[in-house]
Structure 1
Amino acid sequence: MDRNTFLNQHWTSYPAMPADAKAAGRIYQIVREAGELEITLIRDGKEQIVSFEKAPPQSEFLIEGDIVAAVSATELILLAPNKAALPNRTYNKDILEKWNRYVEEVRHFFRRKDFVEVKTPSLVVCPGTEPSLDVFLTELKVGSRKEKLYLPTSPELHLKKALALGAEKIFEIAPCFRNGEVTERHQPEFNMLEWYRAYDNLGTIKQDVIDLVQHLVKVLKFPAPRKILSYSVAELFKIHCGFDFTPETTKEELKALAQKLNVDVHSAESIDDFFFLIFMEKIESQLHGEDLIFVEKYPPYQAALARLTPDGWGDRFEAYWQGLELCNAFHELNDPQIQRQRSEEDLEKKQQSHKEMIALDPEFFQCLDAGLPPSGGVALGVERLFMALHGIRNISDISVFPK
């Protein structure tokens, strides 16, 4: 009798887990010798060796990968046969336990500071208008009603609606979705931590970031950042490019700088493109190591949803640690007229880049028209900070099911 005959004619298919089983798991190794049987089982990431002085009946048909239960010294039950190779994925219990503890500590940090956790929707009218991002589109169907909806690239718009509705200190750990992004640091689905302080500014948010990192390294027992440093974009361009950057710096000046620095900008079209390519190659690549580094005061066309400072810079910062960009923070723009103008400019940039065209969220602008208090807010990559803490270089190593 061969294995197929045994499975098809003699095996009691897919039995329930026996209550009196002494051991169970997936067979990692089988050793048969002189009528004896020794099997190594894998269960919950741990190995267990089960020995039989006399090989149980029908054990000759077992192979590595089968899931079995040892009931007694003479009985071995096949629970589920190995009929195909498992997907090329890894269940890493140790990483998942560390991830769960980490997320718990993040939530504890904000609850201790009297923040309220908010849940925003994962089907939205407007996913976010950032010109460089590709989005996921779906459709709501209710009877004859059909509506285009998107998976959010960020929970930002809805959290700001909550501020207008009366929320003051809020946070969310939200699943976010960005199409076309699969690298060592990007997955199309990831977790974003966003928090906002109404009636406050960017200085408090910056201190929150510092406090959060210091809390996590203390309770999770990791080395703290060696130093906490802050630079403006203009200072970094002066240090690394020898260039005097101002809010009025033009596209032509950046193009000339790129040529001088031998930065490949053949794909660049807009001033944003030239800024991004120079910044990525000559500056961001230097923001590595053990220091927690804040980059502040961006050019006005990089202000996104941030206010402008009195001297014309976008009042926002990004933070870097261990070579990873961790977060992006804004002194939030609450002028509805300027916000409409910037959103429309973003849509024009999307169109020029042949991105998916989206609609704006009328309820968001209704909230702005009704009045959004001066606020500070930040979006932090939850996986990114975990990677920085644990020295993980590939975001796929955190997930059981990466794309």
Structure 2
Amino acid sequence: MPDDWQPTASIATLRERARLLARVRAFFAERDVLEVETPVLGHGGSTDPHLASLSLEASTPGGRERLWLQTSPEFHMKRLLAAGSGPIFQLARSFRDGEVGRRHNLEFTMLEWYRPGFSLSALIDESVALVRELLPEAGPRRLRRYRELFREQLQVDPFTTPLESLRRLAGERGGLDMQDADRDGCLDLLMGLVIEPTLGREGIDVVIDYPASQAALARKHRDPEDGVEVAARFELYVSGLELANGYDELTDAEEQTSRFVEDNRERQRLGHGEVGADVRLLAALEAGMPAGSGVALGLDRLIQLALGKASVAEVMAFATPRC
């Protein structure tokens, strides 16, 4: 019999986790945001080339079908928005293959919420307020532009520096052969190794204006500096940890279809398997999803910081591989 049957978090920690979850729910109740529950399984998965989805075969009324464990509740929640739900939030069980470590687990809790009619700026304010609800000593908020972070810390412009120069710099910093890497691959490595560890060390850092190629499900707009296209999204950092990722949500069904196709094309180029696109999300967008903003926050990481733990496993009842 295995001897690792005990939980990875202490019972005292699990009591504290429950207390913090109650505070999260109270935060949204005070703002009249509806709590919802959506399926863990879906006919569509995340086509994001940088995410590894898990799937299974199931017997359904349609016969044996492939269903995807959701990497976040985003697609189902957007279908609720299109159906007229108004502002909604969810504490969702989410799954991402291969992600196990101090900051990751195969199964985790995503706090995700959507605000029809909210600007990205308004959602940033609310996201900071939610973080301060659990981390009251987090310190001041700073708004940081992605482009300026690269200029300050690496002396390169991520939008205009030649790819060969980025490959050389990424290779030097990462100790890797980056000669076949694309621009986003180089930028992601430099962001993760050099810039991210410095963020949120003296407060709450909110990074905005990411490259347009990293828009995912966000709208795009123009950088006022030179008109280059950038993503209307933000990421929020505390103590070197990325906690949240928010978008001015894309509502155009045709553009979303194109992005799904391009994502799967990139997955094939990278040698990843193709993921079935969520056609019901596309139908919901076609029917009309209200304009607004949404954000996904890694709740286990936030609780880890709030309780002063070294890893997310210490705030989960049974983290991988003890599940």
Q: Which of 324, 336, 359 is the matching residue for 2:276?
A: 359
Q: Is the 8 A contact 2:94 2:107 kept in 1?
A: yes
TM-score (structure 2 length as normaliser)? 0.91
What is the CA distance between 1:143 and its match in structure 2?
A: 6.6
Q: 1:212 to 1:144 in 2, by over 3 A?
A: closer
What is the CA distance between 1:144 and its match in structure 2?
A: 7.1
What are the superposed Cα offsets for residues 134-192 of structure 1, whole Å, 9 maximum, x if unpaired?
Answer: 12111121477111101000100111111111122100010000011111110000000
SS of the residue corresponding to residue 313 of structure 1 reads strand
Counterparts of 2:285 and 2:61, CA distance in 1: 32
- Number of aligned residue pairs: 313
| Residues 1:103 and 2:18 are matched in the alignment | no
Q: What is aligned with 1:240?
A: 153
Q: What is aligned with 1:49?
A: none
1:71-220 correspondence runs (5 A)? 86-87=3-4, 89-90=6-7, 92-142=10-60, 145-217=63-135
Q: What is aligned with 1:24?
A: none
What are the superposed Cα offsets for residues 311-340 of structure 1, whole Å, 9 maximum, x if unpaired?
Answer: 311010100102211010001111122211
What is the CA distance between 1:265 and its match in structure 2?
A: 4.2
Q: Is the 8 A contact 1:138 1:150 kept in 2?
A: yes
Q: Is the 8 A contact 2:44 2:279 kept in 1?
A: no
Q: Is the 8 A contact 2:52 2:98 kept in 1?
A: yes
Counterparts of 2:186 and 2:132, CA distance in 1: 35
Q: What is aligned with 1:390?
A: 307
What is the CA distance between 1:238 and its match in structure 2?
A: 0.9
Q: What is aligned with 1:270?
A: 182
Counterparts of 2:113 and 2:4, CA distance in 1: 37
| Amino acid across the alignment from 2:150 | F
Q: What is aligned with 1:402?
A: 319
Q: Is the 8 A contact 1:135 1:356 kept in 2?
A: no
Q: Is the 8 A contact 1:326 1:384 kept in 2?
A: yes
Counterparts of 2:62 and 2:289, CA distance in 1: 35
| Residues 1:344 and 2:261 are matched in the alignment | yes
Structure 2: gaps spanning 5 or more residues:
224-228
| Residues 1:289 and 2:207 are matched in the alignment | no
SS of the residue corresponding to residue 220 of structure 2 reads coil
| Residues 1:378 and 2:295 are matched in the alignment | yes
Counterparts of 2:170 and 2:62, CA distance in 1: 54
Counterparts of 2:112 and 2:173, CA distance in 1: 37
SS of the residue corresponding to residue 296 of structure 1 reads strand
Question: Which structure has the highest helix share of the two?
Answer: 2
Counterparts of 1:386 and 1:143, CA distance in 2: 40
Q: What is aligned with 1:251?
A: 163
| Amino acid across the alignment from 1:309 | H
What is the CA distance between 1:250 and its match in structure 2?
A: 5.3
Counterparts of 2:60 and 2:218, CA distance in 1: 37
Q: What is aligned with 1:230?
A: 143
Structure 1: gaps spanning 5 or more residues:
1-83, 218-222
Counterparts of 1:375 and 1:250, CA distance in 2: 35
1:315-330 correspondence runs (5 A)? 315-330=232-247
Counterparts of 2:164 and 2:79, CA distance in 1: 39
Q: Is the 8 A contact 1:127 1:154 kept in 2?
A: no
Larger radius of gyration: 1
Q: What is aligned with 1:302?
A: 214
Q: Which has the higher contact order (CA 8 A, sep 6+)?
A: 2
- What's the C-alpha RMSD, in Å, of the aligned pairs? 1.9
What is the CA distance between 1:86 and its match in structure 2?
A: 3.9
What is the CA distance between 1:256 and its match in structure 2?
A: 4.1
Q: What is aligned with 2:226?
A: none
What is the CA distance between 1:277 and its match in structure 2?
A: 0.6
Counterparts of 1:380 and 1:95, CA distance in 2: 20
What is the CA distance between 1:227 and its match in structure 2?
A: 1.8
Counterparts of 2:317 and 2:158, CA distance in 1: 44
Counterparts of 1:293 and 1:352, CA distance in 2: 34
Q: Is the 8 A contact 1:167 1:198 kept in 2?
A: no
